Amino acid sequence: MSRTTRTVLPPRVFALADDLSGAAEVAAALGLRGRILLGPATAPPRDGESVVLDLDTRQLPPADAASAVRAALAYTDGGVVLKKIDSLLRGNLAAEAVAYVTGARGVVIAPALPVAGRTVREGVVNLHGTALHTTDAWRAEPGAAPVSVGAALGGIPTRVVPLATVRAPEPALHDRLRAVVAEGYHPVCDAETDTDLDAIAEAALRLGPGIRLMGTGGLAAALGRRLAQVAQVDLAAGAGAGAGLPGGDADRSTQADRHHPTGTETPGPARADDVSPAPDGTPPRPLLVVVGTAEPTAVAQIAQLVAAGARHVPLPAHTLTDHSTRPTLNIRTGVGRAPNGVTVVSIDGTQAVDPGAARGLAVGLAHAVAEAAHESDLVLTGGETARRVLDALAIRELLPLDQIHHGAVRSRTPDGRRVVTRPGSYGDTDSLLRIARALRPGLAPHPGLAPPFGQPAAPPVQPAPLGEPT
């Protein structure tokens, strides 16, 4: 489908997410010089920059979640505004949507995430072709999955924009979005591919001021691709407006280090010196993998890490929620030390966990690993777990560098450490092993341990550029 109309975009994006792994996913997808903030915004983004704010509202009461959205919108300042939502429609979506649409001329909604098999047809989210509300994807949630996107959004007035309109020649989609907004409704767009999302992002941006976007990391990636196109056109024409939009990893590294003088390493594929001893003989940081998800795939992912020589420390759920029995991990000298410096900590899944205990378990898990995490590079799965661990370390900002695979975003802290965040429901069986090998290219099967499932060891992973899911 040809898209020839050029859109003039404000060179800044302000995005809101309800958990940290989602915020990192959006930051990576946007591809701009970006920051992830773990706390209240204090200023709008600068030109050529994206700011993604983790509102940390996934587990809050609905009224508190809505208040957080309203407070954050004070910093929009005329740029592109995006609300990241969960592709399975979880969280305080209805309450946050009501707050988000307030003051907007209209909100264009596109919840599809094709790379993860999550599409939208006739206003219904489908997971690998099956309607969300007929799957078990909400098994860990306290209620039933919504039957449609409109139902998940509560009381805000919506109208479905069907796939045929999304894929129609220009200007059909733009005209339809404009008409829906003029009638006082917020369009919910069907989409099954990244090309569909590209068309939605383009048409929405052409609606002009007062229009906000709402969607998953898929819509964020479409927005990032559009920004990159505009930057390339402007740079080719010698226009000053686009010069503030970095287009590649090398430029991104320069900009990142300019804003974070304590970090001097270039992003991109992990280098050998990431894991080599320092000149004074100091050993490399340990790598601590904290798995805070109840997804069944986590068991197989951990097994692959263990087969590669990682030490696994499963912590019983009752010890994490009982302050008197919370364990403490020290992976250099005490419990959890691994021969190759890689330790994976998880919640023991042999007994069922109450979905309502999610935040308490994440807090307990963060407390248990806090001492070890202070001196480690980190891999954190599950947005709630990731936020609680970084809160325990008083880390308030992350600089996204790249994606190891879709949703597994490698960032740098102000003190130069590497942190990889990943939603709990993402990733194939080898996800954690791929992430660990990207951070520690020399990671090999431990002596006496066969590779999982009899397969040969995988080669080091080459990460995807920002905004390009694998």
| Structural domains of the chain in order of their starting residue, each with its CATH number | 12-247 (3.40.50.10840), 258-454 (3.40.980.20)
pLDDT of residue 51: 92
Residue 304 predicted with pLDDT over 90:
yes
Residue 393 predicted with pLDDT over 80:
yes
State what percent of residues in the chain have pLDDT above 90: 54
- Mean confidence (pLDDT) of the chain: 80
pLDDT of residue 350: 61
Question: What is the reported pTM?
Answer: 0.80
**Of 40 and 322, which is predicted with more confidence?**
40
**Of 21 and 4, which is predicted with more confidence?**
21
Of the candidates 431, 463, 423, the residue with the CA atom closest to the CA atom of residue 308: 431
> Residue range 171-195: average pLDDT?
98
Give 141-150's long-range contacts (Cβ < 8 A, gap of 24+): 141/90, 141/355, 142/355, 142/356, 145/88, 145/89, 146/89, 148/123, 148/124, 149/89, 149/109, 149/111, 149/120, 149/123, 149/124, 149/125, 149/188, 150/123, 150/188
48 pLDDT band, cuts 50/70/90, is: confident
Range in 141-145, 206-210, 280-284 the model is least confident about: 280-284
What confidence tens digit (pLDDT) does each residue in 94-115 have? 999 999 999 999 999 999 999 9
Distance (Å, whole) CA 226 – CA 201: 8
**Of 258 and 199, which is predicted with more confidence?**
199
Distance (Å, whole) CA 195 – CA 192: 8
> Residue range 73-78: average pLDDT?
85
- C-beta neighbour count of 330 within 10 angstroms: 13
